[in-house]
Structures are given as structure tokens and as C-alpha cells.
Amino acid sequence: MDYLVEVLFEVDAAGDEVVAGSALMLVAGAAGLVVRLDRHARRAPWYGPYQESALWRVGARLSVASSGPVAMALASMHGDGRIRERAVAAMVGRPCPEVMPFLVLRAGDWVKPVRDRAREVPPGMWTPGYAAIWCSVVGASVCS
């Protein structure tokens, strides 16, 4: 998982939103991978020599005005609820299919402001056309 996060971080640093969107769609297309990434983010160590993972560094790069989809998606999994809330606000402000699986996860976040922001997605994004995205997050068994 660390390697995948590092590669996504490099994709974000390149600044090509088309490539970034494609990378996120590949992640979303692998059943359960978004949930596994989120779980991986929660396991990051709080102390010691390995505390600075890419998922934690991305929080510092997040800016609502200029963040690409990868930065927003990765920051939405940050351990700090304030950073997750900023990431969700950025995703809601610039809705695109690539970040929807990450919004789906945050719609069930344990922090109320994060959860509420994630549920502010424009109505056009909650359509049957996004069924494959929802199924990639919640699992194919729910969508069968």
C-alpha cells in the first residue's frame, strides 16, 4: 500500500489532471481498493522514524483552489478531521467522477462536519450513471 500511495503522490506532483484522473479511476475500479487505502491511512504510525507517510504529507499540499484530484482524494483519508474536511470541501467544490468513491467513504465519516460536507455533493453526481463507482466502493455483492 505504501508504494501505491507514493506512486499516486508522484502522479499528483506531476500536475497532469488527466493522468491523475485516470490513476484514480484505476484505483476505484479495483473492488475494495479505496476502502483498503483508507484503512491503510488509519494504520499510519503516530510516532517513530516512519511517521511521515505520503498520506500525511499530502495534507500540507492541499489547497482548495489548486489541488488536483489525487491530492484531494488522498487528503480525504488523512487522520486529521480538519484536513479531511478541507479535502471534502475541495471535492464538493470541483465534483468529478474520479473523486466520488472517496466522497462515498467520507459520507460515512465518524466526524460530523466531514460527513455533512461529503453529503453536499451536487444532485447530478448522485445518478445511476455512477453506479459502477458506487459498486467499486461498497463492494460488488451489494450491487448484484
Give the whole-angstrom CA distance, residue 48 versus residue 115. 31
Query: How confident is residue 23, by pLDDT bands cut at 50, 70 and 90?
Result: very high
Is it the case that residue 40 has pLDDT exceeding 70?
Answer: yes
Is it the case that residue 99 has pLDDT exceeding 60?
Answer: yes
Highest mean pLDDT among 12-16, 65-69, 94-98, 133-137: 12-16
Only one residue has cell 465519516, namely 109
Q: Residue 135 is placed in which grid cell?
A: 459498486
Give the whole-angstrom CA distance, residue 144 versus residue 56. 35
Query: How confident is residue 120, by pLDDT bands cut at 50, 70 and 90?
Result: confident
Report the amino acid identity of residue 100: M
Only one residue has cell 507514493, namely 6
This prediction's pTM = 0.77
Radius of gyration for the alpha carbons in the chain, expressed in angstroms and rounded:
14
Give φ, ψ of 64 to 5 degrees.
-55, -40
